[in-house]
Amino acid sequence: MATTVLIGAQWGDEGKGKIIDVLTEGVDWVVRAQGGNNAGHTVEVGEERFVLHLVPSGILHEGKRCVIGNGVVIDPVALVEEIQGIVERGFPVRGRLFISDRAHVVFPYHRMLDAQGEARRAKGEQIGTTQRGIGPTYSDKAARFGLRMADLRDPAFPELLRARVAEKNRVLEAVGAPVVDAEEVLASTKKALETLCPLVCDTIPMLHQALANGESILFEGAQGIMLDIDFGTYPFVTSSNACSGGAATGSGVPPNRMDRVVGVLKAYTTRVGEGPFPTELFDAQGEELRRAGREFGATTGRPRRCGWFDAVVARHAVMTCGVDEWALTKLDVLDGFDTLRLCVAYELDGRRIDYFPANIREVERCVPIYEDWPGWPADSTRGATRFEDLPAAARRYIARIEELTATPVGILSVGPRRSETIFREAAP
């Protein structure tokens, strides 16, 4: 397959980092097309653990080339720090990492406005953002007030920035927040540009040339469909399109060049930040999932909310993203549970529904309808290298997920390492 789009099919943190890392073996290019350093993709290479926020994880593979596409919002100072960390650990970026000149830039005032916006929201309306300035940067993009990487290299940049800082300071002052010093922002950005400038280019012809050369591309999705600005639990979402369509708008590779969509699903469900989550568990089983799955945010360290697998959410991902196959992750975390619950539909105000409502207040009233499936408490999925090696109950659990979502599970992850992955040759 020349192009593969990988998306998160829940609320982010599905274990995309590891699946991307494994799929990278077979591709030439890895492209990020949306989000920013709100993402945290964890990859284990040998005994080493990497958490990448902006740089595509393909950078950890020799010879692979990586693009940060136009749909990504870039905090230049954070990106330089990340690049330095990668280089120090032995992975060169020159000639391998390319940054779109159309990507919008996150400035300190965006981060401050993010924090302010959260603090000023009424109780119950806070989103629980990562406070990386993502929402305010995409707001400026939509309001046509943003600055892009191309602007940073322009001689007019100091004036463009000063005008923006003056405007944002008026807003910050009005809410009683500390203001930003334009000259300090200029200095830190210019310093970051020493590292970034040689990597900035028009990545659109570059990717099209790659396709024309017969090279393959993996689009590395960030966040997940339920955090998508259009299809997620609005307003408790991020500010970009985490759906498969975002891979096209965020890279300049059009939809008719996308060959396959892989949806990454955790074998249960988690969410960080606020917002409705129908299958959330508030009991000892939720605690157990958090403990066994080490469910703490890769970017903010916050404990993740945990719950059972939700087929309504997975079907929503299939519809909105055109998922061809699943990568089912963290199956090993379910080792030890006596009974597993699968949410097959919701009950809303006494009615059974099998779709995800748009109205957030309705979502809050949705009560999951569960099927109970036997677990494999005496058995383990760890160490399995073939589907047939999995406990019979685990295979039944997977088959039921396939049935409920009408989509095959092609890849299974039973541990954090590259080697702990099962590829199913003949997915049903």
223 binds ligand IMP per the rule CB under 6 A: yes
38 binds ligand IMP per the rule CB under 6 A: yes
Nearer to ligand IMP, 3 or 270 (CB): 270
Q: Are 83 and 93 in contact (CB under 8 A)?
A: yes
Q: Least distance (Å) from ligand IMP to the CB of residue 127? A: 5
Name which of residues 75 to 114 contact ligand IMP (CB under 6 A): none
Question: Which residue minimizes CB distance to ligand IMP?
Answer: 273
Of 188, 368, 400, whose CA–CA distance to 277 is shortest? 368
Of 319, 306, 310, 309, whose CA–CA distance to 345 is shortest? 310
* Residue type at position 255: P
C-alpha–C-alpha distance, residues 315 and 364, integer Å: 19
Q: Which two tokens stand for residue 379?
A: 């058995």
**Out of 42, 238, 251, 269, which residue is the one contacting ligand IMP (CB under 6 A)?**
238
Nearer to ligand IMP, 53 or 164 (CB): 53
* Residue type at position 1: M
Give the binding-site size for ligand IMP (rule: CB under 6 A): 19
Nearer to ligand IMP, 106 or 185 (CB): 106
C-alpha–C-alpha distance, residues 181 and 165, integer Å: 8
Of 299, 8, 286, whose CA–CA distance to 129 is shortest? 299
272 binds ligand IMP per the rule CB under 6 A: yes
Question: Is position 13 annotated as part of the catalytic site?
Answer: yes
Nearer to ligand IMP, 105 or 182 (CB): 105
Say which of 28, 41, 104, 324 is annotated catalytic. Answer: 41
C-alpha–C-alpha distance, residues 330 and 14, integer Å: 8
- Work out the number of other CB atoms within 10 angstroms of the CB of residue 181: 12
Name which of residues 112 to 171 contact ligand IMP (CB under 6 A): 127-130, 132, 134-135
Q: Are 324 and 262 in contact (CB under 8 A)?
A: yes
12 binds ligand IMP per the rule CB under 6 A: yes
Of 108, 104, 261, whose CA–CA distance to 172 is shortest? 108
**Out of 99, 196, 222, 401, which residue is the one contacting ligand IMP (CB under 6 A)?**
222
C-alpha–C-alpha distance, residues 32 and 67, integer Å: 6
Q: Least distance (Å) from ligand IMP to the CB of residue 16? A: 9
Q: Which two tokens stand for residue 367?
A: 């009560």
Question: Is position 101 annotated as part of the catalytic site?
Answer: no
Nearer to ligand IMP, 4 or 130 (CB): 130
Q: Least distance (Å) from ligand IMP to the CB of residue 102? A: 20
| Residues that are catalytic | 13, 41
Binding site for ligand IMP (CB under 6 A): 12-13, 38-40, 127-130, 132, 134-135, 222-223, 227, 238-239, 272-273
